[in-house]
Structure 1
């Protein structure tokens, strides 16, 4: 004769792991989110819309006179504006590339190794971010004058690399902290040299962080005015041109160039988001 022992029914309330957390309604958070988003996007929306405004005076006006693509067709009509924009783009691209090239090994060293002067170097990176722009600009100008270096394109590039490098290092260290070293150690156990393991494993894992750091460098560089104004010399960047032209009235082409910058940045952000989402899926498929 067999005796069956009836097991008590398990309910969700008895098993804490099966208890689904209740979603707490916080109506204030979505409201704050949309307010902040609106404050950020409204000026950008005005810039995009009024870049197509048919103003007869050739100066920016927020009185809508009609739609026209004339200002985009004639971007080079304003003397000096196109050259200033090209100069800003060149400096932004060069500073972003140099910052990434220097930032990847520096982030790896600070995140994964213990060495002499690691603490002061780490503090310098964060001090570069926390320092006010006017202090960085004045200190940079004093250094170049004491070193008898003529201000111009080169000094702007050096200063932009200096502050972009700190942002790239912070972004890459955040990426490295969530990656770990298990895959690299496994590659080493299988006989892969350190450079091969870095090229085939570490670098692809760092790619979203590298793209994010590059985008941040581009954004910080192309719109910097305060630091650049100290070390620009005869060179004129886009922000410097806009500040000087604002005294007599801005041409609509300024809004066109601003819209182009925003569109390129938005496209780069979408591409980075696509790569970031695809990387974990590819890792799961490979596994």
Structure 2
């Protein structure tokens, strides 16, 4: 009887121990599953960048090859469209970051008429489908007689990136402690010195996150670009056109390189932040 009771107690404790472990680690497990789900497409793209397909489409694994990596610009117009996308994304990031930062400070620090209306207009591009803004801007450019090309794409990208910058910077500015600026003024700092040495460094993480988000959105955009590009071909448009007649392996090479650069930037940023925190402590 004693042996039988001990066996039943062990059987009861074992499931309970497993359930307790699952409850303690359920968030970590869910996070790892989500991370794996997000990274899996990038891994597939990375693997197929070393493929050598027999036909025009790079959808089935044939054999290992580094030919595409040795000649990433071997496909006509690929690097040209990539350079154009990088150029547009860079200028769109600069324009959206400068304008968005000024708008964010104005909305967070000042009270003026139609302030709530401006807030609503700022968030509209984030709420509405991209095709609505794309068609609206295309109609505006047509009515104004503006020729589609580089400048229409740039204006359109600044327009839809602006909302994301304002959101990121405004959240950072509203969380700032105003006593820090007041302390700088008590120490006889001029308004410009206060802004450059106190306000701007505190707001810098929000500005940087808005700029990075703008760059990623601009470089990756297809819908708004397609409506306002005319005969200009950016990298996403090149990929879309290539998918209809044959996908070159070099597209996977460019995608893998962009992914690795993004991961490197994140790792460097995390290491720099950890180093700063360790120095302060």
If the TM-score is normalised by the length of the shorter chain, which range does it land in? 0.7 to 0.9
Q: Please name the residue that 1:125 is paired with.
A: 122
Quick one: distance in 2 between partners of 1:190 and 1:77?
A: 61
Deviates more, 1:197-206 or 1:229-238: 197-206
Would the alpha carbon gap of residues 151 and 248 (structure 1) be closer, same or farther in structure 2, given more than 3 Å must change? same
Shift in Å, 1:61: 3.3
Among candidates 189, 193, 196, match of residue 193 of structure 2: 196
1:211–1:272 CA contact under 8 A, matched in 2: no
2:52–2:249 CA contact under 8 A, matched in 1: no
Q: Does 1:145 align with 2:145?
A: no
Deviates more, 1:51-60 or 1:147-156: 51-60
Would the alpha carbon gap of residues 148 and 158 (structure 1) be closer, same or farther in structure 2, given more than 3 Å must change? same
Q: Please name the residue that 1:65 is paired with.
A: 63
Q: Does 1:239 align with 2:236?
A: yes
Shift in Å, 1:240: 0.5
Alignment of 1:107-256 (within 5 A): 107-256=104-253
Q: Please name the residue that 1:13 is paired with.
A: none
Shift in Å, 1:234: 1.3
**Partner SS state of residue 179, structure 1:** coil
Q: Please name the residue that 2:51 is paired with.
A: 53
Would the alpha carbon gap of residues 132 and 177 (structure 1) be closer, same or farther in structure 2, given more than 3 Å must change? same
Quick one: distance in 2 between partners of 1:135 and 1:217?
A: 19
Quick one: distance in 1 between partners of 2:222 and 2:206?
A: 26
Question: What root-mean-square deviation, in Å, do the aligned CA atoms of Structure 1 and Structure 2 show?
Answer: 2.1
2:96–2:161 CA contact under 8 A, matched in 1: yes
Quick one: distance in 2 between partners of 1:140 and 1:50?
A: 37
1:223–1:239 CA contact under 8 A, matched in 2: yes
Quick one: distance in 1 between partners of 2:24 and 2:112?
A: 47
> As a proportion of its length, which structure holds more helix?
2
Shift in Å, 1:274: 4.0
**Cα displacement string for residues 123-171 of structure 1 (whole angstroms, at most 9, x for unaligned residues):** 1111111110110100110111111111111010001011111101111
Would the alpha carbon gap of residues 166 and 246 (structure 1) be closer, same or farther in structure 2, given more than 3 Å must change? same
Quick one: distance in 2 between partners of 1:277 and 1:181?
A: 26
1:156–1:232 CA contact under 8 A, matched in 2: yes
Shift in Å, 1:205: 1.4
2:185–2:191 CA contact under 8 A, matched in 1: yes
Q: Please name the residue that 1:5 is paired with.
A: none
Quick one: distance in 2 between partners of 1:170 and 1:129?
A: 10
Among candidates 69, 77, 82, match of residue 79 of structure 2: 82
2:169–2:206 CA contact under 8 A, matched in 1: yes
**Cα displacement string for residues 57-82 of structure 1 (whole angstroms, at most 9, x for unaligned residues):** 4641331411x322122111111111
Would the alpha carbon gap of residues 173 and 201 (structure 1) be closer, same or farther in structure 2, given more than 3 Å must change? same
